[in-house]
Structure 1
Amino acid sequence: MAGRPRDEGARQVILRRAADLASQDGLEGLSIGRLAAELGVSKSGLFGYFGSKEELQLATIRTAMSVYVAEVIEPALSVPPGLERVRRLCESWLSYSQRRVFPGGCFFFAVTAEFDARSGRVRDAVAAAGLDWIRFVTRTVEDARQLGELAGDTDADQLAFELISFMENANVVSLLHDDPGAYERARTAIRNHLSTYT
């Protein structure tokens, strides 16, 4: 963070608002000027927290990740490893998107589409977050396989890919077509798909 240490509570309020905006308008849509106007503070005061647009974007990604962990990962980890954890993980993600924890649906889905073909530190941070998520879903599936709750020949990488596809499609369809029923269809698809592996 540039400049003197600032009030951490105020910084978190700023970053949470930045994450909400980025979920709708993308990280490129974030600017210190726009954020200052949204929050009713001076541009110079806001600049003191971050120093550059890139630092603001990176800090916003970190804030979004902490929200994501609390909303999606921690509920899954409250369940013992196995098939029930796989189910809870999928449900936590669908709930997080459906409840519009971020107004633009899944923050990471939005910014991944924005940065997937770019280069630079922001793209690298987005890619790292996405890879962490894929690895976590894969590990959760593999744990269930090793415990004998999924078929022994289950390809954890493939099943994780398929589950994530169902979840992300619900997010897209619900947003683009204003169709809340997409979440129930995703839940049905996940339930039916998992049943073929047990």
Structure 2
Amino acid sequence: PMKNRKVLFDIGIAGPLAGFVVAVPVLLVGIFLSSVVPAHLAGTSLDMLGSSVLIDWLVGFVKEIPTGYTLSIHPIFFAGWLGMYLTGINLLPLGQLDGGHISYALFGRAAHTIAMMGFVGLILAGIFLSPNWFLWAFIVFLGGLRHPAPLNDLSRLDWARRLLGYAMIILFFLIVIPVPFGG
């Protein structure tokens, strides 16, 4: 177990923060290198991969995509997209994922309830959005849904860590890809 909630938080936030900081510029370079083509001529397109709120915003900021057209993605775009996708998965507030560490550091034992709701959310996403979510539900289930308490479970996070933790929750909703790999 971790020493206290601060250590738990710092370990939990390091991976997603680093992943996000790397994925955004890679994604932006990939957007610049990608081509806007008629939808029927596209090879691998953004429509096939799935998108998030942030990816849609970045693509819309960099490229104008008229009706009937799509973004034929460059391999560098795919690398950035994959970084965003995996960072979003890692931010799920479940078990031993970094999102589970952040959740427990922020909410203590209430993180167990959040994890159960998140797991049910994965199952529902598998039913209603994309069967791909069943794989992640299975992987998380194998790793365990409950997060072990740190040795000092009474410690509190300072305001800066709490603020950064809440920002990561918002980031999760901006980068999660609801229908990955075209469903």
* TM-score, normalising length: structure 1: 0.30
Q: Which has the higher contact order (CA 8 A, sep 6+)?
A: 2
TM-score, scaled to structure 2: 0.31
More helix by share: 1
